């Protein structure tokens, strides 16, 4: 059964911003009331930091640095940070699917709200949660030996690019959450494509070590562009490390911005359209 059409919201952009912030506040309050969601969301990235740092760090050969556990830890963290923000996709999709399943989205749609406010508010709340996760993860990384070698402005720019990528991917999660029938399906659908995306990349090993076809895929992967950009801005690229010839690797900051903006524009449009036509 199609949900009743919502009365038209008035106020244009101002109304849309206001509605989005109200929904974001609602979701942040909900997160505070269920802190275990945030806590369990921290466990996986922390495990990756420890496992990759101490299990694989002494066996991976980095061009320009050789087998150096300290250099690999610095090389690794850009990938771990990026993986963490993109894995928020599954949580965003599951949250929206749960609201759909409970009928909450239909109630929102019956109100005179901006059409994209429910989804925008949800993705903004998820971005705040992701930012908190990054702060904790950065502290853990420092404890295992990660250091930055650029000024504070560049370091903050690196984290900003990571958050922008995470925000872009939450819109993919929003579309998945609106397209499935249960939160469990949204969680599975949000993760199944993320593993190849994050592992066929430069996140954990140099793309130069991959077979030719996978190397090209990794170098044009939007995930890889953000990883490379964050490494540059953090000063975590080993001296003598060869930069691949692919354009996104030569201009990673610009490539990361472009990829994120394109993903947001495309998947926000698709998600809002799906939201308007959602059925009860």
The answer, yes or no, to whether residue 274 has pLDDT greater than 60, is: yes
For residue 6, the SS3 value is coil
Return mean pLDDT, the chain: 84
Residue 42 lies in a domain: yes
What gap in Å lies between CA 267 and CA 269, rounded to an integer? Answer: 5
What sections of the chain are H helices per DSSP? Answer: 12-33, 35-51, 69-86, 88-102, 104-109, 117-143, 152-179, 183-192, 194-199, 212-219, 222-234, 247-250, 252-276
Residue 2 lies in a domain: no
> Which comes out higher in pLDDT, residue 5 or 267?
267
Q: Which range marks the domain in which residue 28 is found?
A: 12-276
What gap in Å lies between CA 139 and CA 46, rounded to an integer? Answer: 10
Residue 136 lies in a domain: yes
> Which comes out higher in pLDDT, residue 96 or 259?
259
Nearest to 137 by CA among 79, 188, 98: 79
- Tell how far CA 259 is from the center of its chain: 12
In sequence order, the β-bridge partners of residue 279 are 2
Residue 65 lies in a domain: yes
What gap in Å lies between CA 274 and CA 272, rounded to an integer? Answer: 5
| Model confidence pLDDT, tens digit, residues 134-180 | 998 899 889 888 899 999 999 999 999 999 999 999 999 989 988 88
Residue 280: the pLDDT is 44
The answer, yes or no, to whether residue 238 has pLDDT greater than 50, is: yes
| Model confidence pLDDT, tens digit, residues 14-67 | 878 888 888 888 878 877 777 777 777 778 788 878 887 777 766 777 877 667
Residue 229: the pLDDT is 96
pTM of the complete model = 0.86
For residue 62, the SS3 value is strand
Residue 140 lies in a domain: yes
The tally of domains found in the chain comes to 1
Residue 165: count of CB within 10 angstroms of its CB: 28
Compute the average pLDDT of residues 239-264: 94
Residue 6 lies in a domain: no
Residue 2: the pLDDT is 46
Residue 160: the pLDDT is 96
Residue 4 lies in a domain: no
Residue 278: the pLDDT is 64
Residue 7 lies in a domain: no
């Amino acid at each position: 059964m199609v949900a009743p059409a919502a009365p038209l919201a008035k106020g244009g952009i101002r109304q849309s911003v206001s509605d989005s912030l109200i929904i974001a506040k609602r979701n942040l309050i909900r997160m505070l009331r269920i802190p275990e969601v945030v806590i369990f969301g921290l466990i996986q990235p922390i495990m990756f930091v420890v496992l990759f740092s101490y299990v694989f760090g002494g066996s991976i050969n980095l061009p320009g640095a050789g087998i150096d556990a300290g250099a690999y830890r610095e090389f690794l963290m850009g990938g771990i940070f990026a993986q963490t923000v993109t894995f928020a996709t599954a949580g965003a999709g599951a949250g929206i699917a749960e609201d759909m399943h409970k009928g909450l989205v239909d109630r929102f749609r019956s109100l005179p709200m901006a059409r994209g406010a429910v989804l925008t508010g949800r993705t903004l709340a998820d971005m705040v949660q992701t930012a908190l996760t990054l702060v904790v993860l950065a502290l853990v990384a420092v404890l295992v030996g990660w250091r930055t070698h650029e000024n504070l402005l560049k370091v903050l720019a690196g984290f900003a690019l990571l958050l922008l990528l995470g925000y872009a991917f939450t819109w993919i999660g929003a579309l998945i959450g609106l397209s499935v029938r249960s939160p469990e399906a949204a969680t599975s659908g949000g993760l199944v494509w993320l593993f190849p995306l994050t592992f066929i990349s430069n996140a954990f090993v140099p793309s130069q070590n991959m077979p030719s076809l996978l190397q090209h895929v990794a170098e044009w992967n939007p995930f890889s562009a953000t990883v490379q950009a964050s490494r540059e801005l953090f000063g975590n690229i080993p001296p003598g490390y060869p930069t691949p010839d692919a354009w996104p690797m030569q201009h990673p900051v610009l490539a990361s911005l472009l990829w994120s903006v394109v993903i947001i524009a495309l998947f926000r449009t698709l998600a809002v359209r799906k939201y308007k036509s959602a059925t009860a």
